[in-house]
């Protein structure tokens, strides 16, 4: 198993996946890591829908593409570098759909106040991403398909109490992933008060 800090430093979005299938045992190991995240009042309001069916995965990818074409691209184009924009566009245009597993992470509104549900669900998503990296897999976090959450919920047969909150494609990377570029801690951390350098 990889060193924790090495995993943290190398985790990054993967947008192109090899067609190699993932075993249930491996997926369950990743989900177990996700379920060890903290949650408010230990209510554990996360629910994971593991999608392997090709048609359902294609539908989820199509919802992401519709959201991208319907305004996501325009919003991102002014903020992303041309290289990152092309990478995101390629992932939405095809790479996303090639992931052998797509996990739709939901929040159970019956187990937590909907206003603070993200504070409990997204730590589980982060654990899932880190566990995927530690296992040599690629992953990404997207919320684009949630622009059509009613369609997504219907396709997955979600009851009313479950709210889709994140979509995580999983699989072997189609090509090696470089470590992400990050600003140094000194650019983001302050001592005691804002403006006092680290």
The alpha carbon of residue 63 and the mean position of all alpha carbons in its chain are separated, in whole angstroms, by 15
Output b/e per residue, 166-190; b: 16+ Cβ within 10 A.
Answer: bbbbbbbbbeebeeeeeeeeeeeee
pLDDT of residue 195: 92
* pLDDT band at 8; cut points 50, 70, 90: very high
Is the pLDDT at 65 greater than 90? The verdict is: yes
pLDDT of residue 1: 58
Average pLDDT, the chain: 93
Cβ–Cβ under 8 Å, residues 101 and 170: yes
CB atoms closer than 10 angstroms to residue 37: 17
pLDDT of residue 91: 84
Task: Render pLDDT for 77-103 as a digit per residue (tens, 0 to 9).
Answer: 888 888 888 888 888 877 778 999 999
Q: What is the mean pLDDT of residues 182-198?
A: 94
Task: Render pLDDT for 136-186 as a digit per residue (tens, 0 to 9).
Answer: 999 999 999 999 999 999 999 999 999 999 999 999 999 999 888 899 999
Q: Which residues contact 158 (CB under 8 A, 6 or more apart)?
A: 49, 106, 152, 164
pLDDT: is 197 or 137 the higher one?
Answer: 137
What is d(CA 132, CA 99) in angstroms, rounded to the nearest whole number? 13
Q: What is the mean pLDDT of residues 117-132?
A: 97
The domains of the chain, with CATH numbers, are 4-187 (3.40.109.10)
pLDDT of residue 88: 86
């Amino acid at each position: 198993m990889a060193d924790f800090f090495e995993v943290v430093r190398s985790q990054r979005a993967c947008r192109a996946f090899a067609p190699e299938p993932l075993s249930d045992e491996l997926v369950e190991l990743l989900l177990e890591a996700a379920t060890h995240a903290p949650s408010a009042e230990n209510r554990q309001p996360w629910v994971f829908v593991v999608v392997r069916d090709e048609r359902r995965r294609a539908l989820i990818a199509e919802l992401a593409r519709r959201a991208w074409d319907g305004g996501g691209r325009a919003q991102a184009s002014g903020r992303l570098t041309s290289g990152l924009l092309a990478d995101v566009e390629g992932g939405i245009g095809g790479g996303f759909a090639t992931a052998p597993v797509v996990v739709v992470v939901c929040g159970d509104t019956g187990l937590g106040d909907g206003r603070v549900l993200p504070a409990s669900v997204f730590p589980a998503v982060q654990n899932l991403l880190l566990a995927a990296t530690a296992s040599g897999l690629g992953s990404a976090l997207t919320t684009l398909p949630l622009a059509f959450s009613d369609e997504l919920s219907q396709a997955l047969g979600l009851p009313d109490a479950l709210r889709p909150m994140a979509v995580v494609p999983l699989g072997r990377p189609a090509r090696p992933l470089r470590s992400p570029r990050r600003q140094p801690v000194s650019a983001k951390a302050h001592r005691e008060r804002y403006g006092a350098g680290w």
